[in-house]
Structure 1
Amino acid sequence: MATPFSLKPTLRGELVILRPIRAEDADVIGALICDDEEIAILTGAVHSRDEEFTGPSLDELRGIYGAWAHAEDRLVLGVIDRATGDLVGEVVLNDWDAGNRSCGFRTLLGAAGRGRGLGTEATRLIVEHGLRTMGLHRITLEVYDLNPRARHVYEKVGFVHEGTGRDALLLDGAWIDVHYMAILGS
């Protein structure tokens, strides 16, 4: 059965192109994750700044991204920096709830894609696609308190803070809150 996530569009902005993810993108995404310790910290993948992130192997990542390229329960788009043509991250609509026309959102942007508005534009493009083209009513996300840069981007795009999960992440012996945010369509 086809779902709204079956269609894998290419979305174009002034700064980025969002295109369907491919299995071979795992090589770049894997390098982004391994080369940028900030990603593991900001996503809660480690519990100490000294902890080395050990995620899936490259072969496992290729399998994951290959499956996501055709998945009907999520939309994963690679973020291409128009200035360089490089893949700098990904944006994802997932956790689809058909009955409530809602889903979750997450993003991963490597250091080369930060600080130039690429994340804001990529977020805006995929959220507008979800709400307008796919007919979603609600898109949600979670962001840790230690990531105010991401929260600022989400607020600029229109996400609203709906609540806080206290002490959701233990990092370097300190508890970090998580914030729940959502944006609504019509």
Structure 2
Amino acid sequence: MFTTENLIFRGFADEDLDGILALRSDPLVQRTQSFSAIAPPPFSKYKQYMKTFAEGSSLWFSLVHKESYDYVGYCCINLLEAKNRDARLGVTISSRFWGKGYGTEATRFTVNHAFKYFGLQRISLDVTESNVRARTVYTKLGFKEEGRKRRGNWIDGHWEDIIAMGVLDDEWAELHPSIA
């Protein structure tokens, strides 16, 4: 278990499944997702899917608010190519906690931890074109746009692009020397 200014970072526990289900069922959160965004019934099957996903991740942090102990969301790292020390970041924050800096705090800690303790040389992610808030956070932290999957996400009756972003270990260390 780790802590930052506002968050507790801990491993996955079965008790997180209701929080994950609520998170992934939130229409505002669903708008930011480009893959299996909706938590479909039967919910027990979806919970099992998310449990398998969490337990299969190279790194999983359930995010809990330090003062209220409310479930805030999760961050995960999945190793894409071990030979190339390349991984993918996933971040999902409950809409109740948007605009408070928790996404930035969670992303910064998770990426730093992955570079420092996993020996990765790059971390990438995908973000939907309309998720300006997340794109701003990722850019501020040092991620760069690397490409686009044109018309890769159907949302609200129209297509939008999925933007691929990434950051390299030396870029991260240069931008975050006090934590790298």
TM range (shorter): 0.7 to 0.9
Q: Map of 1:88-103 to 2, 5 A cutoff?
A: 88-103=72-87
Query: 1:130 aligns to what?
Result: 114
What SS is found at the alignment partner of 2:148? strand
1:117: how far off? 0.6
1:56: how far off? 5.7
Query: 1:24 aligns to what?
Result: 15
Structure 1's unaligned 5+ residue stretches are 1-9, 48-52
1:74: how far off? 2.3
1:101–1:138 CA contact under 8 A, matched in 2? yes
Is 1:39 the counterpart of 2:39 in the alignment?
Answer: no
CA shift in 2, pair 1:171/1:131, >3 Å: same
Q: Map of 1:32-181 to 2, 5 A cutoff?
A: 32-34=23-25, 36-45=26-35, 53-55=38-40, 57-68=42-53, 70-71=55-56, 73-181=57-165
Q: Which has the higher contact order (CA 8 A, sep 6+)?
A: 1
Letter in 1 for 2:109: L
Query: 1:182 aligns to what?
Result: 166
Question: Residue by residue, what CA displacement relative to the aligned partner does 1:40-94 show, whole Å, maximum 9, x if unpaired?
Answer: 12103589xxxxx3436432244345445543x5212101111311111000101
Question: Residue by residue, what CA displacement relative to the aligned partner does 1:99-152 show, whole Å, maximum 9, x if unpaired?
Answer: 000110111111222111111000000000111111111100011111000101
Q: Which runs of 4+ in 1 moved over 6 A?
A: none
What SS is found at the alignment partner of 1:21? coil
Provide the C-alpha distance between the structure 1 equivalents of 2:144 and 2:42, rounded to a whole number of angstroms. Answer: 36
Structure 2's unaligned 5+ residue stretches are 171-180
Question: Residue by residue, what CA displacement relative to the aligned partner does 1:11-67 show, whole Å, maximum 9, x if unpaired?
Answer: 321111111011221111101222x201112103589xxxxx343643224434544
Q: CA RMSD in A?
A: 2.1
TM-score w.r.t. the length of structure 1 is: 0.82
1:91–1:107 CA contact under 8 A, matched in 2? yes
Provide the C-alpha distance between the structure 2 equivalents of 1:101 and 1:56, rounded to a whole number of angstroms. Answer: 37
CA shift in 2, pair 1:11/1:180, >3 Å: same
* Deviation larger for 54-63 or 117-126: 54-63
Provide the C-alpha distance between the structure 2 equivalents of 1:11 and 1:57, rounded to a whole number of angstroms. Answer: 33
Letter in 2 for 1:39: V
TM-score w.r.t. the length of structure 2 is: 0.84
CA shift in 2, pair 1:123/1:56, >3 Å: farther
Letter in 2 for 1:83: E
2:12–2:55 CA contact under 8 A, matched in 1? no
Provide the C-alpha distance between the structure 1 equivalents of 2:75 and 2:167, rounded to a whole number of angstroms. Answer: 16
Query: 1:3 aligns to what?
Result: none
Provide the C-alpha distance between the structure 1 equivalents of 2:45 and 2:127, rounded to a whole number of angstroms. Answer: 26
